[in-house]
Chains A and B, each alone.
Chain A
Amino acid sequence: MAYEIIVATNVAIAILFALSLNVITGFCGQVSLGHAAFLGIGAYTSAMLTKAGMPLVLSLVPAAVLAGAVGMVVGLASLRVRHDFLAITTMGVAFLFVGIVRKQDALGGEIGIAGIPAPAFGRPGLLVLSVVCVVAFAALAVAIRRSWAGFAFESIADDEDTARLLGIDVPRFKLFAFVVGTAGAGVAGGLYAHQVRFIGPDSFGFVESVTVLAMVIVGGIGSVWGVVVAAALLSMLPQWFQLVDDYKLLLYGALLFATMRFAPDGLAGIATRALRRVRGAA
């Protein structure tokens, strides 16, 4: 049972992390290759605070706030760049994060932070907390998607110059997406730190950023449930099959390529088309 709880918690955290990137990449078409940095900011913040005696649940608040604040700064910088340039800029953020953390003795430097306290409510409690966070964030994402904000995001993802001509304040919406998305990653980071109870700079490297981007793209950019399914599958596979874990980057790279090439709207798009065909046949 204990093992299943660990796997389920990992899956829940991965889903939350992927959903948070989906707000940035999916809702307004901003490709980020540095999302793991915000997972890291949340993880370090939450870990330092619980080590100082703060309860885990409370520590998630500053984790979200700090990640969201840095996200806002990165968002401001990214307003000036688009497409490939944005991807490169956000990639730089990921390397910057690892580079800075490595040199900070207060953050454990290269060694990282060990002995992060176990959550007071035990592993099942951490699973429940993670699931609650996932449900809350998914509900927020769905609420955004269905609202007028989602309507505006759809137009920005489609063609931001046209969105501007329709009177939509594009930079403000982009910043909003960056703050919500990075704050969500901060919460995921806080949960992650207490799940593994040891974090180091390498836990939040480029590979993690690519992994989470693969989840969003394979799931279907912008689709909340598509991303949930893809994040669940892609985070479960390496835990179940050692082989997948060994060739993770290769597999995710291939999946990314195959999705982009053959079904750019991902699992969500494939499912929607299949459903339409079934309905059409009936």
Chain B
Amino acid sequence: MSALLSVRDVTVRFGGITAIDGARLEVEPGRLLGFIGPNGAGKTTMMRVITGVVRPSAGQVLFRGSDITRWSTVARIRHGLALAQQIVRPLRALTLLDNVALAVGHRRLTSPVAAMLRHDRRRERERAHTLLERVGLAEVAGQRPEALPLGYLKRLEVARALALEPALLLLDEPLAGLNQREARAMADLIAELPGPSLAVVLIEHNLGEVLRVCPTLYVQDGGRALAFGPTSEVMARADVRAAYLGVGR
């Protein structure tokens, strides 16, 4: 059992609607997995199952050897999961540096009393600065998010998620809303993220960029896992092209 994350036969029903129907997904350590599917495929719901916002009606979610199906979001994050949200949510009262520094220090925030006894933020800020450099935001580290363009805030989301030192990073449409040049630069950045201790799942509508940077693809359609494997093989399948591109049918 070497999978970092495995979603096993997960079903999610909202009232009478089945958003996910027995979907399976595995993420290997160190991989960059592209997660695609047409609108209404249940991508967001699947992601929410992984982050713990939605509890599945059936099935299991295993992460780093633990069954996390019933865990809270915070427990999952402490266990090595991180999420960069599609709709950017920077903490507006804090500078970019502190947005990231807070995430760097998250392990010190388990108990309010213990957190009260710690004042020094230098080490966390240093680390935060390194992360902001990595995503290309070092020059604006001291600014507050309000005046910055969306492209910057998308990168902030990524830096903040990386600050949690996750084993698995979920990126929810990080390219949405960016122009072509920005999207390309962001996709290049994402392609460089995976490493021995970090796997990345990229949920994205920008198919061109996904195909360019992701070696592995998972395709979901109508709440079911449609295809999973190397990008070229998956995209060669007629059913995938039919579902996703509306051709070949």
**B49 CB-CB contact with A under 8 Å:** no
Give the contacting residue for B115; candidates A149, A164, A170; CB below 8 A: A149
B77 → chain A, closest Cβ, in Å?
4
A158 touches B118 (CB 8 A): no
**B112 CB-CB contact with A under 8 Å:** yes
When distances are taken between beta carbons in the complex, the residues of chain A under 8 Å from B119 are: 146-148
**A162 CB-CB contact with B under 8 Å:** yes
**A114 CB-CB contact with B under 8 Å:** no
When distances are taken between beta carbons in the complex, the residues of chain A under 8 Å from B78 are: 167
B117 touches A158 (CB 8 A): no
> Given A147-B117, A151-B102, A152-B102, A165 and B73 touching (CB < 8 A)?
yes
> Given A164-B74, A165-B73, A176 and B113 touching (CB < 8 A)?
yes
B85 touches A152 (CB 8 A): no
Interface size on B, residues (CB 8 A): 33
**Beta-carbon contacts of A175-193 to B below 8 Å, as 1s and 0s?**
0100000000000000000
CA distance in complex: A117, B108 (Å)? 46
When distances are taken between beta carbons in the complex, the residues of chain B under 8 Å from A273 are: none
B102 touches A155 (CB 8 A): yes
When distances are taken between beta carbons in the complex, the residues of chain A under 8 Å from B109 are: 148-149, 151-152, 167-169, 173
B91 touches A173 (CB 8 A): no
B110 touches A158 (CB 8 A): no
**Can you name the residue of chain B whose Cβ is closest to the Cβ of A147?**
B116
Q: Give the residues from 136 to 156 in chain A that come closer than 8 angstroms, CB to CB, to chain B.
A: 143-144, 146-149, 151-152, 154-155
Q: Give the residues from 127 to 177 in chain B that come closer than 8 angstroms, CB to CB, to chain A.
A: 160, 164
B17 → chain A, closest Cβ, in Å?
24
B103 touches A167 (CB 8 A): yes
B91 touches A154 (CB 8 A): yes
When distances are taken between beta carbons in the complex, the residues of chain B under 8 Å from A144 are: 116
A221 → chain B, closest Cβ, in Å?
11
Give the contacting residue for A168; candidates B106, B113, B116, B121; CB below 8 A: B106
When distances are taken between beta carbons in the complex, the residues of chain B under 8 Å from A157 are: 93
When distances are taken between beta carbons in the complex, the residues of chain A under 8 Å from B93 are: 154, 157-158
B159 → chain A, closest Cβ, in Å?
12
When distances are taken between beta carbons in the complex, the residues of chain A under 8 Å from B105 are: 148, 151
Q: Give the residues from 94 to 109 in chain B that come closer than 8 angstroms, CB to CB, to chain A.
A: 94, 98, 102-103, 105-109
A164 touches B73 (CB 8 A): yes
Give the contacting residue for A148; candidates B91, B118, B160; CB below 8 A: B118
**Can you name the residue of chain B whose Cβ is closest to the Cβ of A168?**
B109
B74 touches A155 (CB 8 A): no
A143 touches B73 (CB 8 A): no
A165 touches B85 (CB 8 A): yes
When distances are taken between beta carbons in the complex, the residues of chain B under 8 Å from A169 are: 74, 109-110
A165 touches B118 (CB 8 A): no
CA distance in complex: A149, B111 (Å)? 8
**Can you name the residue of chain B whose Cβ is closest to the Cβ of A173?**
B112
Give the contacting residue for B111; candidates A151, A159, A165, A172; CB below 8 A: A172
**A1 CB-CB contact with B under 8 Å:** no
**Can you name the residue of chain A whose Cβ is closest to the Cβ of B104?**
A166
**B89 CB-CB contact with A under 8 Å:** yes
Give the contacting residue for B91; candidates A143, A162, A172; CB below 8 A: A162
> Given A147-B119, A167-B109, A169-B109, A155 and B77 touching (CB < 8 A)?
no
When distances are taken between beta carbons in the complex, the residues of chain B under 8 Å from A154 are: 91, 93-94
A159-B89, A168-B109 provided; 19 other pairs, C-beta below 8 A? A146-B119, A147-B119, A151-B102, A152-B112, A154-B93, A154-B94, A155-B94, A159-B91, A165-B82, A165-B83, A165-B89, A166-B77, A166-B160, A167-B74, A167-B103, A167-B164, A168-B74, A173-B109, A173-B112
- Could you write out 23 A-B pairs with CB less than 8 Å apart? A147-B116, A147-B117, A147-B119, A148-B118, A148-B119, A149-B109, A151-B115, A154-B93, A155-B102, A158-B91, A158-B92, A158-B94, A159-B92, A162-B89, A162-B90, A163-B91, A164-B74, A167-B103, A167-B106, A168-B74, A170-B74, A172-B111, A173-B112
**Which A residues are within 8 Å of any B CB, using their own CB?**
143-144, 146-149, 151-152, 154-155, 157-159, 161-170, 172-173, 176
Shortest 10 CB-CB contacts between residues of A and residues of B: A167-B106, A176-B112, A149-B115, A148-B115, A167-B77, A149-B116, A162-B89, A158-B91, A148-B118, A166-B103
